[in-house]
Chain A
């Protein structure tokens, strides 16, 4: 089946540790995105990538890092510099270059700092 897959579904991190969230898509989409969702707030853009080996900071990139070595994969690392990492993280992909294109979302990863 075509789609976008995030793993793991739940992730627990100790303070001071880096963790990496996986996002894989087989939709042949050029663009991929990472969003953070907190209770009562809209999704906020962390990073996005429109093409392999290139990515741009979103609105809340501090404390996060990404890579885009393959078209299918866009992993997000939450570093120890992120002061409040507990949140629901959503990855999305879309066909870049078309204004009405739909963003397809993964099922999300819930990260909890313990």
Chain B
């Protein structure tokens, strides 16, 4: 069964600090992995997409990595801001059913 596991479940950091969120998946055959940001009570918004051949991709202060061999991805947030407070969801697509498997998310709280 395809699964996506994220850690930690929740995280509290001080404004200006860095943090790293983890995503492990068992989805096969792998197509791509996306990181979404979801503000409370809103729909998720895509931050970045990783395909099989990509190891690192940046989008402003967000940097995603992918290790397709170990089936792990991380999202690193640099110099956190209060507006980064949200849930971050890892989503993996398979090439077979082309279905999306969602992780349960990491709830990040940035405090002043």
Contacts and interface: CB of A to CB of B under 8 A. Distances in A.
Given A42-B4, A42-B89, A90-B43, A103 B100 contact: yes
Contacts of A99: 31-32, 93, 95, 98
Nearest to B4: A42
A41 interface: yes
A43 interface: yes
Contacts of A42: 4, 89, 101-105
Interface string B31-50: 11010000001111110010
Nearest to A48: B99
B98 A108 contact: no
Select the residue from A45, A99, A107 with max chain B CB neighbours within 10 A. Answer: A99
Contacts of B7: none
Interface size class of A (residues with CB under 8 A): 20 to 34
Interface residues of B, number: 25
Contact of B45 (A44, A88, A100, A105): A105
A40 interface: yes
Dominant secondary structure of chain B at its interface with chain A: strand
A68 interface: no
B72 interface: no
B51 interface: yes
Interface string B3-34: 01000010000000000000000000001101
Interface string A16-49: 0000000000000000000100001111110000
23 contacts: A4-B43, A6-B43, A35-B102, A40-B9, A40-B104, A42-B89, A42-B105, A44-B102, A88-B41, A90-B43, A90-B44, A99-B32, A99-B93, A99-B95, A99-B98, A100-B31, A100-B49, A102-B46, A103-B91, A105-B43, A105-B44, A106-B43, A108-B43
